[in-house]
A and B are shown apart, each in its own frame.
Chain A
Amino acid sequence: MSERLDVRKTYKLLVGGAFPRSESGRSYEVVDANGLFLANVAQASRKDVRDAVVAARSAQRAWWSLTPYNRGQVLYRLAEMAEARAGELSEQVGRAEGTRAGEARASVGRSIDRLVWYAGWCDKVGQVLGGQNPVAGPYFNFSVPVPSGVVGVLADQDSSLEAFVDAVAAPLATGNAVVALASEARPIPAVLLGEMSATSDLVAGALNVLTGRTGEIAPVIASHEDVDGLDLTGADDDFAGELGALAAETVTRVLRGADPQDRGLKRLRAFVETSTVWHTIGQ
């Protein structure tokens, strides 16, 4: 008996809840930390970015219109899905990052725990970042954090899953929709997380995962008029400056130099807008 031949997976984009190959038909070769072939991954085009932003814009309304409790359950569901496929994630994180199996498993564990952490924020962030404002007059005045809208994420280039989870779960927890560009050299764990999100009751299009050439795709995201926020963690200083200048054309909010290991609320605060309502008090 010959050994069973394994069935290999094609790694595709996640756009609007569907898994297209790039509309361009292009792919690029991804290798592991030792330079061995891993997969031909879809290479997103300018058009894929535009499709993803359109999907994100429409999904954002639906995602934000869910109750915070419901959003929390969906992100928790994503953690459940990731836990069930932790073995697969660990293998890919290990191969991408060149870490030993134990360290890769630990990294996946931390990533899942981080998802759980963000899931819990969905129905707490409003109280922690908002509140009643004691103004000097007969007004009831309150502020609430509302999502910026569509957030473009340029994911960290080194940490293939942990940093990716942080970068996408934070804006999702505050009600944004996300168009994420995975690490160029280590995209597969991010693609897997995207696959899991599609079975987590996440509104289709709330998370879009693109893979491709950072130098080609990041400027398209940064200059897109319908992108409200931009996380430039995955760009070096010079490139971040270039992308930041593109983002200025539509006053896009930019998060720069955020430490992927940061455990504060910086990421939760990065893509919310404080909306303040004054209402008269009277008889």
Chain B
Amino acid sequence: MIALYHVTKRYEGLARPALDNVTFQVKKGQFCTIMGPSGAGKTTLLRLLFADERPSFGKITLDGKDLVAMPKGNIPFMRRQVTMVFQDYKLILHWTTLENIAFALDIAGVRRKESLKRATAALEEVGLLHKRDVPCSWLSGGEQQRVAIARALVVQPKVMLCDEPTGNLDPSLAGGIMALLLRQHAKGVTIVLATHDPTVAARHDGPAISLLRGQVEVRE
């Protein structure tokens, strides 16, 4: 499903590449964890998979399609199948939770009535239906993270990329978020999760990839 071949990413002005000759594959329906300390290149890797950045060298494919050669105009359509949960949530804070979630569907061209219905269902799934009409700025970090996950899953993606989804949360909330992601995985969504917490990888039996200084070590 996802394959990286000898991917290197260099940023101008930095002596060491953020990613150095990274090669690995994630099969369809897998729950893959990318582990590593801060600065290891986890976020860079996810951004490459999200086509938010282009590698300096190497090839990345998604469902056999070359992401590096993908025309810019096709990237938005790709992002309706590959969604990302960001560490800083990326919510529009003055909008309600429902509006934030329905927005992803509106953009995908779903009719308003249908998008509100599906967004309500997604809110129910993440346990925030009672906060349907509450602006996101009023929510706690854990709740905002759940809204971000709801927005990512509401479009029924093939792949979900999660960047430290539990990084800012206390262990009990982190457990809830992980359970939520595992439920999505059980439904067949391929998940790539970046974390610095080794206990997260222990909560599932998918492949774990360790990144250290931009270099990869794969553990099946």
The finding on whether chains A and B are genuine partners in a shared complex, rather than unrelated, reads: no
A positions within 8 Å CB-CB of B = none
B positions within 8 Å CB-CB of A = none
